[in-house]
């Protein structure tokens, strides 16, 4: 969870418009790639991973706006879900689908990294689920209080301070 949190903080900071960046705590003018290298998160600087993180970074500000409005929230599987799909513009629904696709790609790539040291064995389904749970926890922890989150039973609640 800690590694996912460190990566996600960098992704969100890199996606902030300059006006918001100036007011963000621990804001940096470093690029996403520089931040990842400084944090010694080498896996995430591989070309495929970095491309995914850069795409996610470009979407992060708009996705945060949708979270603030209460239209979307973190689901319990590491993805984003629309709370009120009818209120989302088609472009926002497409962005949500792209974000969830990229999140799944990252989890899959991280699974391959973890398998690399295990003599070609494939991480069992339980391992993939635990990666999704870790990713989901990192997303939830980074959410601001008041953002909507989905419980394991599918019900929605607001994150408490």
Among residues 88, 52, 44, 98, which one has the least CA distance to residue 67?
88
Stated pTM of the model: 0.74
Q: pLDDT value at position 43?
A: 64
Question: How far is C-alpha 109 from the geometric centre of its chain's CA atoms?
Answer: 14
Q: pLDDT value at position 129?
A: 57
Q: Reduce the DSSP state of residue 81 to 3 states and report it.
A: strand
Phi, psi of 11 (to 5 degrees): -60, -45
Q: How far apart are CA 70 and CA 83, in angstroms?
A: 7
Intra-chain end-to-end CA distance of the chain, in Å: 20
Q: Would you call 2 exposed, middle or buried from its count of C-beta atoms within 10 A (0-12, 13-18, 19+)?
A: exposed
Helices 90-116 and 47-68, packing angle to 10 deg: 140
Mean pLDDT by 10 residues, the chain (161 residues): 70 55 46 66 70 88 93 92 93 97 85 60 54 83 92 93 89
Helices 2-15 and 47-68, packing angle to 10 deg: 70
Q: pLDDT value at position 146?
A: 94
Q: How far apart are CA 3 and CA 49, in angstroms?
A: 14
Q: pLDDT value at position 152?
A: 87
CB-CB contact of 85 with 93 (8 Å): yes
């Amino acid at each position: 969870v800690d590694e996912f949190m460190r990566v996600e903080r960098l992704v969100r900071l890199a996606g902030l418009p300059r006006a918001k960046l100036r007011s963000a705590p621990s804001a940096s003018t470093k690029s996403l790639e520089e931040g990842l290298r400084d944090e010694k998160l080498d896996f995430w600087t591989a070309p495929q991973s970095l491309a995914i993180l850069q795409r996610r970074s470009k979407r992060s500000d708009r996705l945060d706006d949708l979270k603030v409005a209460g239209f979307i929230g973190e689901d319990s599987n590491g993805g984003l879900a629309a709370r009120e799909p009818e209120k989302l513009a088609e472009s926002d629904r497409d962005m949500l689908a792209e974000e969830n696709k990229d999140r799944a790609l990252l989890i899959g790539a991280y699974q391959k990294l973890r398998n690399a040291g295990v003599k070609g064995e494939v991480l069992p389904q339980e391992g993939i689920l635990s990666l999704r749970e870790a990713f989901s926890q990192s997303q939830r922890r980074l959410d601001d209080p008041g953002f909507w989150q989905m419980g394991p039973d599918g019900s929605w609640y607001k994150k408490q301070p």
